[in-house]
Amino acid sequence: MFVRSLHTSDFRNLREVAYTPHPRVNVIFGDNGQGKTNLIESIFLLATQRSFRRSKLDDLVRFGCEKAEVIARICHGEVERRLAVQILTRPSRKIALCDGKSARSSDYFQGVHVVLFAPEDLLLPKGSPEERRRFLDRAIWNTCPSYLDEVRTYEQVLKSRNAVLKSMLAASGMRRRPSFGSDGELATVEHSEDSESLLSVYSEQLAVAGGRIIARRRHYLQTIAPQVEATFDRISRSGLRASLEYRPKVIGRDIEVASPSELQSILYEQLERDRKRDRIRGFTHSGPHGDDMVIGLDGRDAALHASQGQVRALVLALKITEIQHLFCLHGDPPVLLLDDVSSELDAQRNGYLFDFLRAMPSQVFITTTSPEHVKLDQDRLDVRMNHGGLWSDAVAS
């Protein structure tokens, strides 16, 4: 896939930007605070209908305006489509259009694959489990568009189940603290049959939806782990071994080898075992919403034992593997969005990254304050970002 043209209006500080990128390497340079990341964010929004920043929809609209719009012509293979995302503030909502018409997610996202590499990613091993889950889900979604619906279904059922648990907690008057019996066991409270049977229905639905997610996450990590190990070895040349380990928040036998339907049974059994505690806590304890993955170095958790340089090399290996995996899977290179990453890497790792980018036939967008540090000389277009406006005063080659 590549972006043939991009137009933004009132998207953050990008008032009116009309941009015809190069099909290969695009360097967006300028001082800090000019709008470089905003441009990357606009492409990401178009490709995912989400921001990668923790922003509300309204934050994307230029201060004082009521509507932001990002429009792009996207090519994959022989197909060219016009994708548009509009954000409106009154009331707050998002409209996604494909060739001027509203489209189902599966049609809109067909063939649209972007991989973002931002400085925040470099904190992944040491960040929160939520960030690692987000990384994992985004990577899986790029391999399988229906995954988004699967995650949404899970989240909806989880919300419903938690609402029942919360109302049971409120009804039992145990909102403030759990009570314990004389034997130290959590006390049992009588609940209405309706709530109990509703809980059973949601447990079953949650087990079905959750089992699918566990299977996908497990499969993805098992698939990419050997490649991450090999890539890390080439980047670091340290002889240390990188590893990826899935840590699902469900205790069961043989999680690593269980079939998808067995995973559903394992999760269901866990939900049933947790039922009493869940009622007392007022939320669902077990399930993929609590999953994690451990990025390891020589058998130890990199979050606790790796140096900053090693952590960066691990994340670089993870990102490169994600991109290569997508290319192999779809036969079409994803668009790469690199937001000021080079400044965070040392010379040797930058060298590796640029060698990789030279070899990968992707369209690349790289933001930087120093374009001379981007060591890619051919098939490249530099543009300057200044106060939310794009200037193509540099040499195109």
Among 8, 26, 34, 37, indicate the residue that binds Mg ion (CB under 5 A): 37
Which residue from 142, 191, 150, 203 is spatially nearest to 330, judged by alpha carbons?
142
What is the distance between the alpha carbons of residues 84 and 188, in angstroms, rounded to a whole number? 54
Binding-site size for Mg ion (CB under 5 A) equals: 2
For residue 97 the two structure tokens come to 């259009």
Measured from the CB atom, the residue of 148 and 390 that comes closer to ligand ADP is 390
Shortest Å, Cβ 64 to Mg ion: 22
Q: Does 13 bind ligand ADP (CB under 6 A)?
A: yes
Q: Give how far Cα 42 sits from Cα of 14, 16, 90, 362, Å.
A: 9, 12, 21, 18
Q: Does 26 bind ligand ADP (CB under 6 A)?
A: no
Binding to ligand ADP by residue 35, rule CB under 6 A?
yes
Residue 92, SS3? strand
Q: Burial level of 134, CB count in 10 A (0-12/13-18/19+)?
A: middle
29-37, 120-128, 223-231, 352-360 -> range binding Mg ion (CB under 5 A): 29-37
Indicate the SS3 state at residue 296: strand
Query: Considering CB distances under 5 to 8 angstroms, the limit depending on partner class, which of ligand ADP, Mg ion, none binds residue 226?
Result: none
Shortest distance in whole angstroms from residue 308 CB to ligand ADP: 22
For residue 310 the two structure tokens come to: 């090693």
In 113-251, which ranges are continuous DSSP H helix?
Answer: 129-143, 147-171, 193-236
Member of 7, 8, 12, 69 binding ligand ADP (CB under 6 A): 12
Asked if 63 interacts with ligand ADP (CB under 6 A), we say yes
**Residue from 36, 218, 349, 380 in contact with ligand ADP (CB under 6 A):** 36
The smaller minimum CB distance to ligand ADP, of residues 273 and 387, is found at 387
- Which partner in Mg ion, ligand ADP, none is near 86 (CB below 5 to 8 A by kind)? none
What is the smallest separation between the CB atom of 36 and ligand ADP, expressed in angstroms? Answer: 3
By CB under 5 A, residue 342 contacts Mg ion:
no
CA 329/CA 309 separation, integer angstroms: 30
Pick from 7, 22, 24, 62: which binds ligand ADP (CB under 6 A)? 62
d(CA 207, CA 268) in angstroms, rounded, equals 5
Token pair of 9, please?
């209006």
Strands (E), the chain: 2-11, 14-19, 25-29, 67-76, 79-89, 92-98, 101-102, 114-117, 242-247, 292-297, 300-301, 335-339, 364-368, 380-386, 389-391
- The nearest distance, CB 36 to Mg ion, in angstroms, is 5
Shortest Cβ 75–ligand ADP spacing (Å): 26
CB 37 to Mg ion: min, Å: 3
The amino acid that residue 158 corresponds to is: L
Nearest approach in angstroms of CB 28 to ligand ADP is 8
Would you tell me which residues interact with ligand ADP (CB under 6 A)?
A: 12-13, 30, 32-38, 59, 61-63, 385
Would you tell me which residues interact with Mg ion (CB under 5 A)?
A: 36-37
